[in-house]
Amino acid sequence: MESFSLKNKTAIVTGGGSGIGEAISKKFVEAGATVHILDFNKEASEAVVKEIKKESNLVEFHKCDVSNQKEVIYVIDKIAGKGQIDILVNNAGVAHVGNIENTSEEDIDRLYSINVKGVYNCIYAAIPHFKKNKKGCILNMASIAAVLGLSDRFAYSMTKGAVLTMTYSVAKDYLDYNIRCNAISPARIHTPFVDGFISKNYPGKEKEMFDKLSNTQPIGRMGKPEEVADLALFLCSDNAGFITGTNFPIDGGFIKLNS
């Protein structure tokens, strides 16, 4: 932890009120960063903030719909008004199960508005502040679905592919401003979302389906949110200062050992 310090840095984490975003928020505070959680779910996010504040006051929640550009700009400008922003983690996202035939126009619009436009909005709002400071770190949450085909993940794969190519483009365009931009591509991570998905779609077969989904990773289990947070901490620390424009799978061997 001492090696990957974020002391005196300010980080914005979208979707920080649950799952991977919650783990990243907690890890960054442990590493010394002041963390601003942007999330639409007020109740869950305030619970996370309350838990973090038992150990540290370096956290604040901002209710924000990342699909609304005016709202995002307002919140990020407000945070920047308190001091320099160093890190932006674009973690907020939603999922959808289905192929192109059972993916409606409404489904596409919903996933695009959060998974693609939400990432665009946050980078768009943060870039002027990073340029002014002549440094910054952006970390986007992509997915293994961005780089290989997964059954019944048409809309989700499309949006995560966009996140990955946005990462490459931003990294290229802002090299001269010392702004780094990377992506993490998780495989299946054990979060409350996964438990809820299994309970909803496979009632009475929860353990069977959990084991089946776990074994789709060659390593034989799902990842932990804390493991993704550890990778995020490294990539957003000064130790990763020579890394930009790169995608980092964290997948239990899924991509290389299943391709």
What is the enclosing helix (H) or strand (E) of 228?
helix 225-236
| Sign of the Cα pseudo-torsion (56, 57, 59, 62, in order) | positive
Taking 70 as the threshold, does the pLDDT of residue 258 lie above it? Answer: yes
- And the tokens for 85? 């922003």
Using left for φ > 0, alpha for ψ between -120 and 50, and beta otherwise, residue 161 falls in alpha
Q: Tell me, rounded to whole angstroms, the distance of Cα 102 from its chain centroid.
A: 26
- C-alpha 37/C-alpha 15 separation (Å) is 7
**Is the CB of residue 11 less than 8 Å from the CB of residue 236?**
yes
Give the model's pLDDT for residue 202.
Answer: 87
Domain 10-188+224-250, CATH class in plain words: alpha beta
Using left for φ > 0, alpha for ψ between -120 and 50, and beta otherwise, residue 8 falls in left
Q: Given 156, 168, 174, 202, which residue is catalytic?
A: 156
Q: What is the pLDDT of residues 6-22, one digit of tens each?
A: 999 999 999 999 999 99
Q: What is the pLDDT of residues 143-163, one digit of tens each?
A: 999 999 889 999 999 999 999
- In sequence order, what are the residues at sequence separation of 6 or more whose Cβ sits closer than 8 angstroms to the Cβ of residue 255? 144, 147, 148, 185, 187, 249
Q: Report the mean per-residue pLDDT for the chain.
A: 96
Give the model's pLDDT for residue 62.
Answer: 98
Query: Over the range 5-44, which residues count as b (16 or more CB within 10 Å of their CB) and which as e?
Result: ebeebbbbbbbbbbbbbbbbbbbbbbbbbbbbbbbbeeeb
> Which of 89, 100, 85 minimizes the C-alpha distance to 136?
85
- And the tokens for 81? 């008004």
168 an active-site residue? no
